[in-house]
């Protein structure tokens, strides 16, 4: 029997305690141990970005992060973005700009977009495309996804 680790972390604002094998990936912990299925399993090599989550506010590919590396840290998944009655501004822009088709890449794209906006890395089309570079979409050709990211950035610049 292999050694197990007890891991404490904050996931979507709630404390979580997991007992896992040392080789358990953050993606596996979120999906299989915590039942958070919004984070997608894609390539499992960081190529596609479907597994993107925020770790202490910065986007990471959860398919290559060990859950032990997230010990005592904060993880945010797509499930935490929307309120009970309203969408996160990035989700609203994705909807308004028709920035999704099959929806497989959408959670990772949204999380990468949220991180880029919070870090102030989006100011024009080139920077928006650069911010999403590590996330693949096989349906839309990125035009509407980039438009959604730019629409959110523009809305954040306007005074409330």
Dump pLDDT digits (tens) for 143-155: 999 999 999 999 9
Between the alpha carbon of residue 87 and those of residues 63, 65, 105, 110, 132, the distances in Å are 26, 28, 18, 12, 20
CATH number of 89-157: 1.10.150.120
* Entry pTM: 0.93
CB 17 within 8 A of CB 4: no
- Asked, colleague to colleague, whether 5-80 and 89-157 share their fold, the answer is no
How do the domains of the chain map onto residue ranges? 5-80, 89-157
Token pair in block for residue 109: 């794209």
Mean pLDDT score of the chain, rounded to an integer? 94
CATH homologous superfamily of 5-80: Beta-grasp domain (3.10.20.30)
Is residue 106 scored above 70 in pLDDT? yes
């Amino acid at each position: 029997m292999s050694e197990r680790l007890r891991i404490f972390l904050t996931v979507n604002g709630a404390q979580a305690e997991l007992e896992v094998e040392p080789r358990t990936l953050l993606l596996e912990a979120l999906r299989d141990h915590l039942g958070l299925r919004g984070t997608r399993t894609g390539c499992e090599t960081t190529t596609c970005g479907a597994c993107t989550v925020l770790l202490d506010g910065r986007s990471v590919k959860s398919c290559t992060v060990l859950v032990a590396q997230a010990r005592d840290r904060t993880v945010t998944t797509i499930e935490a973005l929307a309120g009970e009655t309203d969408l996160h501004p990035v989700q609203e822009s994705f909807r308004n700009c028709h920035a999704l088709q099959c929806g497989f890449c959408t959670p990772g794209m949204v999380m990468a977009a949220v991180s880029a906006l919070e870090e102030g890395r989006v100011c024009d089309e080139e920077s928006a495309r650069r911010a999403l570079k590590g996330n693949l979409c096989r349906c839309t050709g990125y035009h509407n996804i980039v438009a959604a990211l730019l629409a959110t950035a523009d809305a954040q610049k306007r005074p409330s």
